Structure 1
Amino acid sequence: MLPVDARIRRSRDFSSALKRGSRAARGGVVVHWAPAPDPQATPSTTPSDAEHQAARAGFVVSKAVGNAVVRNTVKRRLRHAAAEQMRSWPDGVDVVVRATPRAAERDFAALSRDLAQAVEAARSGKSRRPRKTDRP
C-alpha cells in the first residue's frame, strides 16, 4: 500500500511535477520524473509543500482508459507497483504516472514492468527507446 504522505494530491503539486519533470512513455504508462528543487536556487524563508522529504507519486487515469471499474483497477495496480519501486527512488522526487488506454489491456506484471522502464528512462533523461535503425 502506498502511504498517504507518499502521494501527490494537490493540483499545484501535479502541475509543478509536470512542468519541471522529464517525461518517458513505455507500454501503458507515461511517467513524469521531477527531482526535488534545488533549495539554493530558490531560497525561501518558509518551507513550501514542494520541499518534502520522501519520494511521492501521483496517478492520472482518465476516462479514455475505460469505465470506472477499469480505471480503478488500473489505478490500484499502478499504486501497488509504485509502492514496490519507490524504495529505490531518491528522497524529494515527485513522479506523476499517467495511464494510457493500453494500460487497461495489461496485467499487473506488464504494468509494473512498464512503470519500471518508464521511470528508468525518465530518470536517466532517455525519453525514447532506440529504433531498430539506430542500433548497430
Structure 2
Amino acid sequence: MLPAAHRLRRPAQFRAVLRGRGAGRSGGDLLVVHAAHVSRPADGSVVPRVGFVVSKAVGNAVVRTRTKRVLRHVVAAELGAVPADVDLVVRANPPLAGAPTPRVREDLRRQLHQALSRLR
C-alpha cells in the first residue's frame, strides 16, 4: 500500500510533473515514467509523491484496477531510491495488463533510473 503522503491527487499536481520545466521522462513497452522536481514548503514533510495513469486502452475496469494495484505495490518498494523533492507519474501501456509482476518491477526500475538521470 502506498501511504497517503506519497500520492498525487489533483490534476494540477499531475500537470506539474507531465509538463513541468526540466522534467525527465523514460518509456518502455510496459510503462512510462515521468519525473519532475517540485518545490514544496520545507516543513519537514517533504516526501516523493507518485501518481498513476491507467487508461481504458489497458483493459476493462477489473484489469485496470489490478494493474494499478500491481503498480502501487512495485512503486512502494522503489520509493527509497527517489529523492524527496521529486514527484513521479507512472503511465501504464496496454501490454502491462498481461505482464508478470517481476517483469513490471524490472521495467519500472530501469525506466525510473533513466527518468531520474534526465532531470535538470
Shared fold by TM > 0.5? yes
User: 1:11 matched to which residue of 2?
Assistant: 11
User: 1:118 matched to which residue of 2?
Assistant: 111
Deviation per CA, 1:76-95, whole angstroms, max 9, x where unpaired? 00001100000121102100
Identity %: 42
Give the number of the structure whose residues are more often helix, by fraction.
Answer: 2
SS state at 1:30 partner: strand
Under a length normalisation based on structure 1, what TM-score does the superposition of the two structures give? 0.79
User: 2:101 matched to which residue of 1?
Assistant: 108
Deviation per CA, 1:46-104, whole angstroms, max 9, x where unpaired? x5xxxx71001000000000001110111000001100000121102100000000111
Alpha-carbon deviation of 1:27? Answer: 2.9
Aligned residue type for 1:14: F
SS state at 2:110 partner: helix
SS state at 1:111 partner: helix
Q: Which residue, 65, 68, 81 being the options, matches 2:74?
A: 81
SS state at 2:34 partner: strand
RMSD: 1.6
Cα distance between partner residues in 2 of 1:115 and 1:85: 9
Alpha-carbon deviation of 1:26? Answer: 1.9
Under a length normalisation based on structure 2, what TM-score does the superposition of the two structures give? 0.89
Unaligned ranges ≥5, structure 2 = none
User: 1:96 matched to which residue of 2?
Assistant: 89
Deviation per CA, 1:3-61, whole angstroms, max 9, x where unpaired? 01100010000000101221110231001011234x8xxxxxxx5xxxx7100100000
Unaligned ranges ≥5, structure 1 = 40-46, 127-136
